[in-house]
Amino acid sequence: MAPTTDGGSVGDPHFKTWAGEWYDYHGVCDLVLLKLEDFNNGQGMDIVIRTAARGSFSYIESAAIRIGQDILEVTGWGAYAVNEVEYADLPLDLGGFKLEKWWSNAKKHVFMIHLDGGEHIKISTKKELVSVKVENATEATFGASVGLMGSYKGGVWLARDGKTVVTDPIAFGEEWQVTKSEGQLFQTDRFPQFPEKCYLPQALRTGRRRLGEAAVLEDQAKAACSHWDDEHRDLCVFDVLATGDLELAESGSYF
């Protein structure tokens, strides 16, 4: 069996490369998480996320996945649309692959796109926060992918020219802002749109980000996040402190 890996983005945006490494980019704009032009014999796949600012932090407020001519858009609290049809009946065929609502409760919703060979794309919402994860990805399918998950081999932060290696997370995020040539996968535009550049929340621009604005103490955050494994515990504490929302520490909030 061919080796597999996973990657994606979650929370206050944390990005996981194909190599399993995490980094943060807090720019507010539309971003290319993954682009795969040769997917399924040229059908093509795009995964785009839209980030928003709230006070001193930013988060993923919506995600759009295109396979062929079909587009799924997911926003907070489990709202979704398929080809601009809101709350389309599920399961259904998305570009030839099964899309289903895999799990749901009052505050968390999970959508799954089942690709071939056990590969799938999981889109989750926890309250207003959206996350995207590509799971069990093989080199045969995703080896040519580009975007904020880096190169499939090594998770290298490559610029759009496919050669230049970027070392700064802010520069890397800005490099993969959605451009006019890539089109609009979301139903509506929202500032900024290229050529306007991504911007950082005010507190980050001034260097005065105040973690814990909602009066959540660090020891409370650490206690609430203690059940997470080493990979996710620090992400959990960071997001709880940034948002002041202890419920983000609940099981299932992260990959």
113 and 186: one domain?
A: yes
Same domain, 31 and 152: yes
137 in the same domain as 232: no
Closest CA to 53 of 184, 188, 202: 202
195: left (phi > 0), else alpha (psi -120 to 50), else beta? Answer: alpha
For the question of whether the overall pTM of this predicted structure is more than 0.85, the answer is yes
Domains identified in the chain, total number: 2
Q: What is the DSSP letter of 163?
A: S
Tell me the three state secondary structure of residue 250: coil
pLDDT for the residue numbered 216: 53
The predicted structure's pLDDT at residue 212: 47
Query: Residue 74: helix, strand or coil by DSSP?
Result: strand
Tokens representing residue 135 in the block: 């799971």
Whether 49 and 152 map to the same domain: the answer is yes
Same domain, 129 and 218: no
Q: In terms of domains, do 130 and 183 share one?
A: yes
User: Are 237 and 194 within one domain?
Assistant: no
59 and 184 in a single domain? The answer is: yes
Q: Are residues 128 and 181 in the same domain?
A: yes
Whether 204 and 250 share a structural domain: no
pLDDT in tens, the chain (255 residues): 567 899 999 978 899 999 999 999 999 999 999 999 999 999 999 999 999 998 778 899 999 999 999 999 999 999 999 999 999 999 999 999 999 998 888 889 999 999 999 999 999 998 889 999 999 999 999 999 999 999 999 999 999 999 999 999 999 999 999 999 999 999 999 999 999 999 998 755 444 444 444 455 778 888 888 888 887 787 788 778 777 777 777 755 555
Q: Do 114 and 14 have their domain in common?
A: yes
* Pair (125, 228) in one structural domain: no
CA gap 63, 33 in Å, rounded = 9
Domain of residue 215, residue span: 211-255
